[in-house]
Homo-oligomer: A and B are copies of this chain.
Amino acid sequence: MNFEKISDIIKNKGLKITPQRLAVLKAVIDLGNHPTADNIIEIIKKSQPNIAIGTVYKILETYVENGIVKKVKTDNDIMRYDAILDKHHHLYCLESDRIEDYYDDELNDILEKYFKKKNINDFTIKDIKLQIIGNFIN
Q: Tell me whether B123 and A128 are in contact (CB under 8 A).
A: no
Please count how many residues in chain A sit with their CB below 8 Å of the partner chain's CB atoms: 37
A129 CB-CB contact with B under 8 Å = yes
A73 CB-CB contact with B under 8 Å = yes
Mark the stretch among A7-15, A18-26, A40-48, A114-122 that contacts chain B. A114-122
How many angstroms from the CA of A127 to the CA of B90 in the assembled complex?
12
A88 CB-CB contact with B under 8 Å = no
A66 CB-CB contact with B under 8 Å = no
Q: Which residues of B contact A105 (CB under 8 A)?
A: none
Instruction: Give the number of times this chain occurs in the complex, counting copies.
Output: 2
Which of A72-96 touch B at CB < 8 Å?
Answer: 72-77, 79, 91, 94
Which of A119-135 touch B at CB < 8 Å?
Answer: 120, 122-135
Which of B77, B131, B135 lies in contact with A123, CB distance below 8 A? B135
Which of A42-83 touch B at CB < 8 Å?
Answer: 70-77, 79
* Chain A interface (Cβ < 8 Å from any Cβ of B): 70-77, 79, 91, 94, 102, 104, 106-107, 110, 114-115, 118, 120, 122-138
Apart from A71-B75, A102-B120, A124-B137, what 12 extra A-B contacts exist at CB < 8 Å? A73-B76, A110-B114, A123-B135, A127-B133, A127-B134, A128-B132, A129-B130, A129-B131, A129-B133, A130-B130, A130-B131, A131-B131
